[in-house]
Amino acid sequence: MDVYEPEKLGFCHQRLNRIEPRLNTYIDNGDIAGISTLVARRGQIVHRSLIGLMNTKVDTPISTNAIFRVYSMTKPIICTALMMLHEEGRFHLDQPLSQYMPQFTNQKVLEIDGDKEKLVPVQREISIKDLFTHTSGLSYTFLADAVAKKYRASGLLTDASVSLSDTVQSIADHPLLFHPGERWHYSVSIDVLAHLLEVISNCPLSDFLQDRVFEPLGMDQSGFKVETAQTSNIVDIFGNIDLLGKDVGFDELISATTTEPNKLLDLTNTYPYDNPNHARGGHGLFMTIDDYFRFAQMLLNGGELDGNRVLGRKTVELMNCNHLPLTLLPFGLNDLVMWPGYGFGLGSRVCIDPAQTNLTGSVGEFGWAGAAKTYYWVDPREKIIGIFMSQRLSYFQVPERDFQALVYQALVD
């Protein structure tokens, strides 16, 4: 894809040139092996950075062909795909999940009193919207709560050869952490939505995404598998520990940052590139930065790209407005507020108060991030897209925030 003259799109090229020196510090200190970034406005790319290596064994420089494990940046794509079925009248957001997936009937909530556990009936069933907004009562394997601990004990998400349907059945077999709608809590909800898509469409997730999302949008390097001819473009992934590894919870993640070296990781069991069963909703996709740009540009365009419409404009607007009541804000992980000033839409954060975010941006900016330091945002007000791609797990610095600040300081018109 061509890079256009920044000044014609309201950016100062001298200020954009501040991006690479800052991001290079993360390469130079050994924290991250390679970084790829992209900045676009009004549909045209105004800046790219390609820094460091994608294959450290043979010193292959990172390129525009680099393929990344995008982890939770899979989620907005799954939510987009499911909303196509919503447009067809195949489900309603307020419907109980159990109407389509009876394994979620008669769910129980785990209550703990001292060292005693008790299961109580849910006050209401999980709705489909609860899954989109992470208010379902489900949890995630790497979090610190009691349900997350039970997920880990069952091996949830540790074996990529387990089918999506079996994974979701295991989720349904566990209790909820809280009554649906009571709070925001990051979770495997989008994995459940991914299987809901399969149930409603009667189509495997990977086939649906290929036919309804990737092919229409020209995203020809995206999927749960990487073709043999392209495996050399998969970026090495580093970290102190595998986020989805067996018995890895939040305490283990924190401990590993000081007790384990930053090393090249083998994700054969949890995030393989060649396992036919590995289709998930919360993670799992492999993508290039240009493919993710095409997806993000479709959203910025109101559901259309290059004459191919995948969503209606009002559906995109519905997805990217705040759906959380003020009583559930601000939200974060493990009781840590991580997204002040943001609400949550149908699968993505959405900015409702820039002053509280401590970031430059605009009201209505939306996006999400992935565990291996991937990050994107779409700013409808300024018509800007920013994408940051790297591959570093168990890393708590925020180079993506540096990148966002550097993009906006270069905007002069």
pLDDT digits (tens, 9 = 90+) for 116-159: 999 999 999 999 999 999 999 999 999 999 999 999 999 999 99
316 shares its domain with 331: yes
* Cut 0.85: pTM above it: yes
1 within some domain: no
| Residue 34: Cβ-neighbour burial (10 angstroms; 0-12, 13-18, 19+) | buried
Q: What's the pLDDT tens digit per position in 10-28?
A: 999 999 999 999 999 999 9
105 shares its domain with 75: no
Instruction: Write down the pLDDT at residue 336.
Output: 86
362 shares its domain with 316: yes
> Measuring CA to CA, how many Å separate 188 from each of 54, 83, 282?
29, 18, 6
Q: What is the DSSP letter of 156?
A: T
67 shares its domain with 103: no
Domain count for the chain: 2
Q: How many CB atoms lie within 10 A of CB 224?
A: 25
Spatial separation of the C-alpha atoms in residues 155 and 230, rounded to whole Å: 31
Mean pLDDT of the chain, nearest integer: 97
45 shares its domain with 117: no
Q: What's the pLDDT tens digit per position in 344-392?
A: 999 999 999 999 999 999 999 999 999 999 999 999 999 999 999 999 9
Instruction: Write down the pLDDT at residue 410.
Output: 99
Q: What percent of the chain has pLDDT over 90?
A: 97
62 touches 50 (CB < 8 A): yes
223 shares its domain with 348: yes
Write out the residue range of the structural domain in which residue 146 sits.
87-201
Instruction: Write down the pLDDT at residue 276.
Output: 84
Q: How many CB atoms lie within 10 A of CB 266?
A: 11
Residue where one domain finishes, among candidates 183, 201, 219: 201
361 shares its domain with 243: yes
15 shares its domain with 147: no
Question: Residue 250 above 90 pLDDT?
Answer: yes
Spatial separation of the C-alpha atoms in residues 152 and 231, rounded to whole Å: 30
Q: What's the pLDDT tens digit per position in 34-74?
A: 999 999 999 999 999 999 999 999 999 999 999 999 999 99
The CATH number of the domain where 374 resides is what?
3.40.710.10
Question: Residue 164 above 90 pLDDT?
Answer: yes
161 shares its domain with 176: yes
Residue where one domain finishes, among candidates 163, 183, 201: 201
125 touches 181 (CB < 8 A): no
Residues with Cβ within 8 Å of residue 166, at least 6 apart in sequence: none
